[in-house]
């Protein structure tokens, strides 16, 4: 079978919108185009009904007690900001201490640092060499002034699945609110707000073959019932937590994308894990000095992040012009620096420079994985100064 180039292996950054999702969205641009907040006519009623179907789909997928616990947002960045800032402002009279982890996404770490600049105290916990945070470290970090703990479910760079059940139990025991960024987890692994004992959970559509620009925040309404200070004020949409006209087509797409992921999740996880292991075995079997980053088994089925000894990741990515992957490093204008996630693993000096993330997804085939493996092996050998065999 021929392979169409270029090959996309950056599905943790974003995903292609599934054609079935596009088909579900299209009528809400041209036929059922009403405003979901318009209560006086059929156009608005149909739009509202479609939104509520998507809300119920999301609530069911995460095990929420009620669809009313789902608040639609513009994406995970807004959801994380609403969760962190909303809790901090609402509960400031109860305490001023926040706890998070060094490998969190910037949309968690940056709001935390903003709150720190506003007088809150922040504890940022380290991870071990596999990228896991120790639940006991969370317990030790808590104090009577702690109001919120935020730990992501699945890391966007190294794919590590954090021990949320254990952390959630500790937070519930100490009556501290628990938030998780579940953007990379939803649709790929089971998500259970009660099993994890989370009070707030952030998700986004574009990581699971849905449209960009729409996400959601789960806000627990029972045991405990949460109240947040909103970021946006206006028409009082989403029960006052997120004012603004709802993007009905995008929300419909979110619901359809998630329904497809949930229906196909178990089989797709097995398929992606098989492709991931095929890629890993090729790379480690034919190249020396290939190090897996992140826990070997506690990781997303489609995630592979490896460091190539003696190879600069940015140079490798440039050479792989026909395979779309991403680097574990972020470059400034002059000096390349390792990503904060890779740096937190405590690798030997220089090892993080060769970190490359492969994000496998729904539309990738075995033929694409074999082609990508061959191209990576070829270019690593070139960069190391060895002629390809």
SS3 60: helix
CA-to-CA distance for 58 and 253, rounded, in angstroms? Answer: 12
CA-to-CA distance for 18 and 76, rounded, in angstroms? Answer: 20
Q: Closest Cα to residue 57, out of 234, 262, 200?
A: 262
* Residues tagged active-site: 331
Asked if residues 72 and 246 have their Cβ atoms less than 8 Å apart, the reply is yes
SS3 204: strand
How far, CA to CA in Å, does 129 sit from each of 153, 194, 303? 17, 29, 17
Asked if residues 305 and 154 have their Cβ atoms less than 8 Å apart, the reply is no
Look up tokens 């380290």; give the residue: 126
In sequence order, the 6+-apart residues with CB closer than 8 A to the CB of 163 are 132, 133, 135
How many helices (H) and strands (E) the chain has is answered by: 12, 15
In sequence order, the 6+-apart residues with CB closer than 8 A to the CB of 234 are 243, 244
Give the pairing type, strands 215-219 and 70-73: antiparallel
Asked if residues 256 and 209 have their Cβ atoms less than 8 Å apart, the reply is no
Asked if residues 232 and 238 have their Cβ atoms less than 8 Å apart, the reply is no
Q: For the purposes of burial, counting CB atoms within 10 Å of the CB of 52, is it exposed (0-12), middle (13-18) or buried (19 or more)?
A: middle
How far, CA to CA in Å, does 253 sit from each of 69, 121, 206, 260? 19, 39, 10, 11
End-to-end CA separation in angstroms for the chain: 23
């Amino acid at each position: 079978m021929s392979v169409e180039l270029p090959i996309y292996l950056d599905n943790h950054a974003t995903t292609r919108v599934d054609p079935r999702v596009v088909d579900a969205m299209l009528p809400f641009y041209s036929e059922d185009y009403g405003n979901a907040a318009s209560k006086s006519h059929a156009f608005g009623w149909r739009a509202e009904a479609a939104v509520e179907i998507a809300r119920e789909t999301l609530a069911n997928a995460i095990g929420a007690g009620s669809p009313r616990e789902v608040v639609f947002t513009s994406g995970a960045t807004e959801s994380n900001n609403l969760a962190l800032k909303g809790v901090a402002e609402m509960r400031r009279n109860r305490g001023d201490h926040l706890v998070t982890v060094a490998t969190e996404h910037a949309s968690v770490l940056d709001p935390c640092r903003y709150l720190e600049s506003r007088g809150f105290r922040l504890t940022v916990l380290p991870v071990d060499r596999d990228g896991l945070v120790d639940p006991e470290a969370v317990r030790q970090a808590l104090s009577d002034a702690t109001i919120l703990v935020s730990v992501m479910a699945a890391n966007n760079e190294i794919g590590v699945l954090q021990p949320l059940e254990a952390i959630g139990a500790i937070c519930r025991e100490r009556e501290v609110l628990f938030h998780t960024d579940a953007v990379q987890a939803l649709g790929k692994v089971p998500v259970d707000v009660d099993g994890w004992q989370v009070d707030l959970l952030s998700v986004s559509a574009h990581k699971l073959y849905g449209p960009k620009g729409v996400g959601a925040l789960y806000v627990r309404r029972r045991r405990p019932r949460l109240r947040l200070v909103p970021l946006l004020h206006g028409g009082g949409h989403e029960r006052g937590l997120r004012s603004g006209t709802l993007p009905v087509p995008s929300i419909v797409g979110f619901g359809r994308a998630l329904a497809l992921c949930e229906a196909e999740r178990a089989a797709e996880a097995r398929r992606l894990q098989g492709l991931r292991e095929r890629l890993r075995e090729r790379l480690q079997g034919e190249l020396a000095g290939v190090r897996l980053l992140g826990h070997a088994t506690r990781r997303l089925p489609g995630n592979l992040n490896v460091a190539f000894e003696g190879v600069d990741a940015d140079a490798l990515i440039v050479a792989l012009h026909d395979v779309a992957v991403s680097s574990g490093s972020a470059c400034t204008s002059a000096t390349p620096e390792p990503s904060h996630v890779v740096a937190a693993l405590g690798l030997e000096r220089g090892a993080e420079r060769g970190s490359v993330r492969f994000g496998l997804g729904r539309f990738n085939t075995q033929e694409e994985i074999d082609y990508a493996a061959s191209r990576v092996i070829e270019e690593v050998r070139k960069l190391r100064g060895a002629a390809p065999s």
